[in-house]
Amino acid sequence: MIETKPAVFTADAVQIAYQPNSGGVWYPRILVLSSGEWVCGFDTNEDGGNGVIKVIISSDEGETWGAPIFVAGRAGADYANAQLAERRDGQLWLAYRVVEEADGICHTSLRVSSSDDRGQTWQELPNGEIAQQTSPAYRGVWEPHMGYMGDTFVCMYADDSEAAVEHSQQQTLFMKTWTDAGWSDDPIIVSDGRESNGRDGMPVWSRMKDGSYIVVFETSDEAAQYPFVIKYKISPDGFNWNVPRHSLPPPARRGKQRSAPYVITLSDGRVMVSFQTDEDKTRFGVAVSENKVILGDPAAETWDGLSSGVPTSDLTNSIWNSLLPLPDGSFVIASSSSNPDDRARIVLRRGRWE
């Protein structure tokens, strides 16, 4: 019998990448450009009012970061869920969601801004609207995640509008493809919340070592025991998602949740997932949740090494996290975090699996 050692997570000290003078900062997503620069997108209300999208740029692999650069936002609308992707022609794209509420009607849309100078200046992409919905309640389209599946550029997102699901406790995951004329009209269903009777949300996907694609998402389909759990599906080609649902381990305690997942494939082929959870806290909910990480084998069949990625106390949190794989096998955790003086910040932590 071959004895396997348990996965052991080790990490450097937590580093503050950005801290606004006031207000909040959420949902950091980092991308390494072909030029070698690191770009981090996020939403913030540091200037007052609703959220807007900004980026910061590092030319020294995340050691130091420049001043924030405005990407998108306007009065009367709330912008969030920033996500970055570099096109093969060198153009940098950033997707985000926009919410506008007026006269009891909620308008949501997913849009894209682009940059031709590696994130220094931005403009809204022509024909760049991914999806839009109108609802009498706070329902619609959320959480875009773009990238290449083979040679096709795609975007996954969540939709809990009346057009997509039967009631507000359901949510469906869709995927659209990009052509020069814009995004496809007929989305592919990645996970149907009507079938699962759950809020399948926050999809993030990665290409696996064997060429398959894994998508992770949060769902409420086990709400009798846990408000949210993490599930995943594996597609042989990234387009056929009529495949089984698999489950990551559930929270350690009934009534607790694991949500907001992110997945990457490490350089050795192993699969890594991060999420936020309140399972170790005396209180409940996102406000006290903490980033954790777990490691899977290259086939995503077994999971090991559950660890706190960005540790917190009962008075702090580390939420809305993302992961960045690096060529040497290490990775970076990015998280929006608070501290006891209630100051919001983006923090980074470089880690590795032993």
pLDDT in tens, the chain (354 residues): 344 567 999 999 999 999 998 899 999 999 999 999 999 999 999 999 999 999 999 999 999 999 999 999 999 999 999 999 999 999 999 999 999 999 899 999 999 999 999 999 999 999 999 999 999 999 999 999 999 999 999 999 999 999 999 999 999 999 999 998 899 999 999 999 999 999 999 999 999 999 999 999 999 999 999 999 999 999 999 999 999 999 999 998 999 999 999 999 999 999 999 999 999 999 999 989 999 999 999 999 999 999 999 999 888 899 999 999 999 999 999 999 886 666 799 999 999 998
Q: Look-up: residue for tokens 């620069």? A: 37
Question: Does 318 map to a domain?
Answer: yes
The span from the CA of 139 to the CA of 202, in Å, is: 14
Let me know: does 33 contact 92? Beta carbons within 8 Å. yes
* 44 token code pair: 């913030």
SS3 state of residue 286:
helix
For residue 3, the model assigns a pLDDT of 43
Let me know: does 132 contact 100? Beta carbons within 8 Å. no
Instruction: Give the total number of structural domains in the chain.
Output: 1
Let me know: does 153 contact 137? Beta carbons within 8 Å. no
For residue 2, the model assigns a pLDDT of 41
The span from the CA of 323 to the CA of 225, in Å, is: 28
DSSP 190-244: EE-HHHHTSB-EEEEEEE-TTS-EEEEEEE-TTTTT-S-EEEEEEESSSS---S-
Predicted TM-score (pTM) of this structure: 0.95
Q: Look-up: residue for tokens 């359901």? A: 170
DSSP 69-135: EEEE--TT-EEEEEEEEE-TTS-EEEEEEEEEEETTEEEEEEEEEEESSTTSS-EEPTT---EEEEE
Q: Look-up: residue for tokens 């348990």? A: 6
For residue 352, the model assigns a pLDDT of 97
Assign residue 76 the CATH number of its domain. Answer: 2.120.10.10
Question: Does 2 map to a domain?
Answer: no
Domain extent, residue 259, equals: 9-353
Question: Does 300 map to a domain?
Answer: yes
By the 10 Å C-beta count (0-12 exposed, 13-18 middle, 19+ buried), 56 is classed as buried
Question: Does 4 map to a domain?
Answer: no
For residue 340, the model assigns a pLDDT of 60
Question: Does 1 map to a domain?
Answer: no
Question: Does 53 map to a domain?
Answer: yes
Give the residue among 139, 166, 171 at the shortest CA–CA distance from 259. 171
Let me know: does 142 contact 81? Beta carbons within 8 Å. yes
Q: Which amino acid is at 7?
A: A
The span from the CA of 38 to the CA of 119, in Å, is: 10
The span from the CA of 339 to the CA of 180, in Å, is: 45
Question: Does 257 map to a domain?
Answer: yes
By the 10 Å C-beta count (0-12 exposed, 13-18 middle, 19+ buried), 103 is classed as exposed
The span from the CA of 47 to the CA of 283, in Å, is: 31
Cα–Cα distances in angstroms (integers) from residue 300 to residues 25, 249, 271, 330, 339, in the given order? 32, 12, 6, 18, 34
Question: Does 139 map to a domain?
Answer: yes
For residue 342, the model assigns a pLDDT of 65
